[in-house]
């Protein structure tokens, strides 16, 4: 059955609309990183939950000098509600609750302790002489104290729903009283690398080439917010491909190769056999024209990437990125682009969009995109040096024209 190829921008929008967010679930904090918040994080308690010392030193009350009680040290992790009388001081550790009646904390390095038979006396240290400052000066109220609720009050919104949960977010959630979070989990993606000609190690030889997509695709998918399984090698066999797709429990199955109409390209036949619903069957883009997107009856999605490496990346940017972002509940992220001035002209295609590797440079007044060499469908050399892929519309690409630029994965 003939299905017309879609214009590139339409194919991206169709892929974005092809899936609803995965069902939310409750995840422990150590499981939540990389997920998307289904509900906002709202403070379950004041943070800090009590006034505490911000430094190691001495809790003091009133003006100096202070009578120092070294036997009544206040430590983090302990609770001591004994009040501090005016003119007195006690040792205090960072994070320890501030005693009732205390005005401030005198840091260890700023303190001078005078030892005498009648007891220890505490003074501020004169910064010029290093000796006791006996002028009777006090400390500014609240100095080196973390007030209760300084960071947030109970019930205060902290992080909005729809935000990707990172390490700092789970740390904040824990501090604010959470043991788990309601999240949209990352979609699990199976990667099937199809082709008898592919080698997974060693040097290429006549008729055999190294598999570049097995190492490339899973981390790329992870950068999109998915949880990608290790790649599975699949021979050019209809039955082998059918078995792998039929047996997979992943939310999304990404295949590389077998999307065209060659003698051993079986993906279309396999998807028809499985009763798949065709969403995209070909895109008017170079490289990557024979990419596809389909849905199985059980809700799993199939993204078919061409076998040529840069063409496969075109498929990741065009179909996989919008689909995965929507499954994560962040559809706008999957369609994000930046804007740049094309410094070097690019040869246009009269009917198809072209995706071209570029370097982005900030000029005096604008961001400019410099086209890189080695942008053929089977090449990765230009992509490996690129900051993005410039979108050259049909008939466009003249020097000095404005273009959209698709972001590439950034490894921190």
3-state helix, strand, coil in the chain (%, to 5): 20, 30, 50
151-170 tens-digit pLDDT: 999 999 999 999 999 999 99
| One domain, residues 227 and 284 | yes
305 belongs to a structural domain: no
Q: Round to whole Å and give the CA distance between 307 and 294.
A: 18
Q: What's residue 400's pLDDT?
A: 87
Q: What's the CATH number where 398 sits? A: 2.40.340.10
Q: What's residue 304's pLDDT?
A: 98
Q: What's residue 16's pLDDT?
A: 97
Closest CA to 389 of 342, 348, 351: 342
Closest CA to 158 of 169, 146, 143, 149: 169
Q: What's residue 392's pLDDT?
A: 96
Strand 367-371 vs strand 41-42: parallel, antiparallel, or unpaired? unpaired
| One domain, residues 36 and 157 | yes
Q: Round to whole Å and give the CA distance between 295 and 41.
A: 33
The domain in which residue 100 lies consists of 52-146
Q: What's residue 411's pLDDT?
A: 64
Q: What's the CATH number where 290 sits? A: 3.40.980.10
311 belongs to a structural domain: no
Compute the residue count for the chain: 412
In sign, the C-alpha dihedral spanning 157, 161, 162, 164 is positive
Q: How many domains does the chain have?
A: 4
Q: What's the CATH number where 162 sits? A: 3.90.105.10
Q: What's the CATH number where 58 sits? A: 2.170.190.11
| One domain, residues 41 and 176 | yes
Q: What's residue 412's pLDDT?
A: 53
| One domain, residues 139 and 275 | no
64-91 tens-digit pLDDT: 999 999 999 999 999 888 999 999 999 9
Q: What's residue 383's pLDDT?
A: 94
Q: Which regions in the chain score pLDDT beneath 70? A: 1, 411-412
């Amino acid at each position: 059955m003939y299905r017309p190829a879609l214009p590139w921008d339409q194919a991206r929008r169709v892929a974005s609309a092809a899936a609803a967010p995965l069902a939310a679930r409750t995840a422990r904090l150590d499981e939540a990183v990389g997920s998307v918040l289904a509900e906002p994080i709202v403070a379950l308690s004041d943070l800090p939950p009590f006034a505490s010392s911000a430094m190691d030193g001495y809790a003091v009350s009133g003006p100096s000098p202070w009578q120092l009680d070294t036997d009544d040290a206040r430590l983090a992790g302990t609770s001591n509600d004994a009040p501090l009388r005016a003119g007195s001081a006690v040792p205090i550790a960072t994070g320890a609750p501030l005693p009732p009646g205390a005005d401030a904390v005198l840091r260890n390095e700023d303190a001078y302790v005078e030892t005498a038979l009648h007891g220890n006396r505490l003074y501020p240290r004169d910064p010029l002489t290093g000796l006791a400052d006996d002028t009777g000066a006090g400390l500014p109220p609240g100095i080196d104290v973390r007030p209760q609720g300084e960071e947030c009050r109970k019930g205060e919104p902290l992080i909005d729903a729809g935000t990707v949960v990172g390490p700092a977010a789970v740390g904040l959630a824990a501090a604010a009283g959470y043991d788990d979070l309601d999240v949209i989990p990352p979609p699990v993606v199976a990667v099937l690398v199809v082709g008898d000609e592919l080698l997974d190690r060693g040097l290429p030889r006549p008729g055999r080439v190294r598999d570049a997509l097995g190492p490339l695709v899973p981390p790329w998918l992870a950068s999109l917010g998915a949880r990608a399984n290790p790649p599975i090698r699949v021979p050019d066999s209809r039955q082998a491909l059918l078995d792998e797709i039929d047996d997979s429990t992943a939310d999304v199955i990404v295949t590389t190769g077998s999307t065209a109409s060659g003698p051993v390209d079986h993906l279309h036949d396999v998807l028809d056999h499985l009763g798949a619903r065709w969403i995209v069957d070909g895109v008017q883009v170079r490289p990557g024209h024979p990419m596809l997107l389909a849905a199985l009856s059980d809700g799993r999605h199939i993204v078919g990437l061409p076998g040529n490496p840069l063409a496969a990346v075109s498929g990741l940017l065009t179909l996989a990125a919008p689909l995965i972002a929507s499954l994560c509940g962040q559809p706008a992220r999957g369609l994000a682009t930046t804007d740049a001035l094309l410094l070097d002209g690019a040869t246009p295609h009269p009917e198809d969009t072209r995706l071209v590797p570029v370097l982005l440079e900030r000029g005096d007044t604008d961001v400019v995109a410099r086209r890189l060499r080695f942008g053929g469908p089977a090449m990765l050399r230009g992509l490996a040096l690129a900051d993005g892929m410039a979108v050259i519309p049909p008939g466009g690409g003249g020097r000095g024209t404005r273009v959209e630029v698709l972001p590439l994965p950034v490894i921190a």
